[in-house]
Amino acid sequence: MNDDPGPEFAEFAGGGTTLMLHRDLAAHAVTLVERIEALRGSRERGAGGRESVHRITLAGGMEIMVRRALRGGMMRHLVSDLFVGLRARPLAELAVTVEARRRKLPVADAVGAMVQWLAPIIYRGWFMTRPLSGMTLWEFVQADDDAAVREHVLTAARESIADIQDGGLWHPDLNLQNLFVTKSGERFAVVILDLDKARLLDWPLQDGMRQHNALRLARSARKLDPHGRYFDAKALSALGAG
């Protein structure tokens, strides 16, 4: 698929910056660019595994969550926020996330993406969503010691993963920190985050892809919880990673 998120989004470009923004937020375009630039220059620590997620409050009290694109692995020590490519990941993520929402898959409600081009193929990027109330699955299992509630949430996570797999959403980097636990009425629900490496297919995921997701989740659990305090064999099985 291309990087066009659809007619409900408008493009603002200038000075090497490209901003794709939901038309409901078009009046806030200049403010958003200024606030994001200010965040990049500050030492304010954000939320999330890489402390890259910030909450921006706009006029009228409207809130937007902004995630700064940061590198992982050893490269983060050299060029933490610089990426190379003809196709900017935040813009691709916006198109994928919007289409996934149209397919009624459990992903965040994306409202925009911004790319700052430093050269024809070098950029910095940001991704924007409406706020979600809750915490990551990894944070949740540490915070709630009710075994029945934990099992309910792990089952909800497994169901959300099955939903995106059945809906053709290939997320190669599923882990305990991009499964987000929130409330849906009287129940918990799990939303899938961080689709910057994801892509959409026109058919359900094949068995090999599903197995990759399960193994990736198991590796995430071993890395974050090496002694199995929260993710023992039973918990991994409930999540579908056992």
Cβ(231)–Cβ(220) under 8 Å? no
Cβ(145)–Cβ(154) under 8 Å? no
Q: What angle do CA 34, 37, 43 make, to 5 degrees?
A: 130
42 DSSP 8-state letter: S
* Spans of all domains in the chain: 9-129, 134-239
Type of residue at 207 = D
Q: What is the pTM of this model?
A: 0.92
Residue 77 has a pLDDT of: 44
Q: What is the mean pLDDT of residues 203-228?
A: 96
86 DSSP 8-state letter: S
Distances (CA, A) of 115 to 123, 208, 223, 236: 6, 33, 32, 37
pLDDT tens track for 37-70: 888 777 777 676 667 789 999 988 889 999 998 8
- State the fold for domain 134-239: Transferase(Phosphotransferase); domain 1 (1.10.510)
pLDDT tens track for 113-164: 999 999 889 999 999 999 999 999 999 999 988 899 999 999 999 999 999 9
**Is residue 155 packed enough to be buried (19+ CB in 10 Å), middle (13-18) or exposed (0-12)?**
middle
Q: Which residues pair with 11 in a beta bridge?
A: 20
pLDDT tens track for 66-117: 999 887 655 544 567 889 988 899 999 999 999 999 999 999 999 999 999 9
pLDDT tens track for 186-198: 889 999 999 999 9
User: Cα 189 from chain centroid?
Assistant: 16
Q: Which residues contact 223 (CB under 8 A, 6 or more apart)?
A: none
User: H or E stretch including 215?
Assistant: helix 207-224
Residue 78 has a pLDDT of: 57
Taking the C-alpha atoms of residue 115 and residue 13, their distance in angstroms, rounded to an integer, is 10
